[in-house]
Structure 1
Amino acid sequence: MVLSENMDAVCCLLDFLRRTEALKSTLRSAWTQSGRQESTAEHSWRLCLFAMLVSREYPELDALKILHLCIVHDMGETIHGDIPAPEQTGSKDEQERNDMVDLLRPLPEDMQKEIMDLWEEYESAKTPEARLVKALDKLETILQHAQGANPPDFDYAFNLNYGTQYTEVDSLVKELRAAVDLEMESCILFRRTHL
C-alpha cells in the first residue's frame, strides 16, 4: 500500500501513532539519574541506541531487523503497562499479545502482520537477531538500574541473576554482561557501606 495515495491509510497510521504515544508515559521499575521513573519509551530508545552501536560487531545479522525488534519489543506495554521482573508470577505473553492485537488494529493488515511478526519473533527468540535483542534488552535494564537514582529499598542484588539465560549468546554479550554485573556489584557494595 502506498500511503501517499490513500488518505484513509494516512489517518490510520496517525491514529496508531497517537495510541502508541502512551508508551512515553508508561513507567518502568527503573529510575533515571535525575531520580524520576523511566518510561518504556525511554528504555526502548536507549535499547535502539545500544543495538545500533553493537550491531556493527554482527555483520552476518540484519541490522535493520535488529532495530525493528528493539522498537516493537515492549510496544504491548502501551495498554496494561510494564510488570517489573521481580513481580512477574508467570508468562505475560498472552496479555501483551492481546494488547498488541488491540494496539495494531488501526493499521492496514499488512502493517499489522509485519509488526506482530516482529513482536512474536522477539518473544520466541528463535532467530539470532531476536536473541541478540533479548540479551541487549536485559543488559540495558541492568545498566539503568546501576545508573539510576533508585529508591532506598531498591533490590540491586536481583539484577545479578536477571536475564542470565539470555545473556549467554556469545563472547561479546558475555563481556558486556560481566561489565554491567561489576557495576551492579559496586552499587551493592556502596549501599552496604553507606546505610
Structure 2
Amino acid sequence: MTHKTDSDDPATIDHGRLSGILAFLQAAEQLKDTLRSGRTRTGRAESTAEHSWGLCLLVVLFGRDLPGIDVEKLLKLCVVHDLGEAISGDVPAPAQKSGDRRRERERRDFQSLCAPLPSALAGDLLSLWDEYAEGRTEEARLAKAFDKLETMLQHLVGKNPPDFDFSFNLAYGRRETDFHPLTRALREKVDELTRARLDERRPTPARGG
C-alpha cells in the first residue's frame, strides 16, 4: 500500500518556482554556443559547456582519491564556475590581463543569469560562484586545479592549428595544480605528454651524406 504525500498533490506544486528554474535553464543553454580557444579532436572549436562537462568527468573519475573532500560540492563548483560566460563569452588565458575586471563582469553576468531563479536558489548558486572565484575552500582550490588540467588535456587531444604552441601547457596554471598531491601528480603526467608532443614537432636532424 502506498501513501500519498503533499508533493503528490499538483495543487501543492509551486509553479512559479518551476517556471523560474526552466527560464534559468533555457538562458544557461547559451553556454553550449559559447566557444573557447581549445579545439576538439576534429578541429572544431570547443564550447564552454563541453569544457565544464570534461571538468566534471575528471572529478567523478578521481573523487575516490580525494579523502576528506566534499565531492558533491566540488562537482557543483565545477558546474557553475564558468556559467557567467554564457552572457559575455570566454576570454582565452593569453588575452587575460591584470586589472581587466573580468571577475567582476563574470559575476555580474552570473547574477543576471540567475535572475529568474527563486531567491534562495539564486543565492546558493552565487555563493558557490564566489567560493570558487575566491578559492576560499579546499574544494574551490581543487576545482581550479582540475579546471587547469582539463584545459591542458584538451590542448593535447585537440586538432590544433599548425602553429599551436604546446609549450604554453608547461607554464599554465602551475600554482593551481601544485595545490594538492593528486593534482600535482596528474600535472606531472600531463607535462610528460606535453613534452612528447613538443618532441614530435622538433625537426629530425639531417644525416650527412
Whether TM-score is above 0.5 comes out as yes
Quote the residue 1:88 is aligned against: 96
Report runs of 4+ in structure 1 exceeding 3 Å deviation.
none
TM-score of the superposed pair, with normalisation by structure 2: 0.88
Structure-1-length-normalised TM-score: 0.94
CA contact (8 A) 2:31 2:48 kept: yes
CA distance in 1, matches of 2:57, 2:152: 15
Tell me, which stretches of 5 or more residues in structure 1 are unaligned?
Answer: none
Within-5 A mapping of 1:11-160: 11-90=19-98, 91-160=101-170
Q: What residue in structure 1 maps to residue 189 of structure 2?
A: 179
Alpha-carbon distance between aligned partners in 2 of 1:18 and 1:102, rounded to the nearest angstrom: 13
Equivalent of 2:201, from 170, 191, 194?
191
**Take 1:185 and 1:35, find their aligned partners in 2: how far apart are those partners?**
21
What is the SS of the residue equivalent to 1:155?
coil
Deviation at 1:37, TM superposition (A): 0.8
Q: CA deviation at 1:169?
A: 1.5
How high is the sequence identity, in percent, across the aligned residues? 47
CA–CA distance in structure 2, aligned partners of residues 184 and 95 of structure 1: 33
One-letter amino acid matched to 1:15:
A
For the Cα contact (< 8 Å) 2:55–2:150, is it kept in 1?
yes
User: Any unmatched runs of 5+ in structure 2?
Assistant: 1-6, 205-209
CA drift at 1:171: 1.9
Deviation at 1:188, TM superposition (A): 1.8
Q: Is the radius of gyration larger for structure 1 or structure 2?
A: 2
Cα displacement (A) at 1:174: 1.0
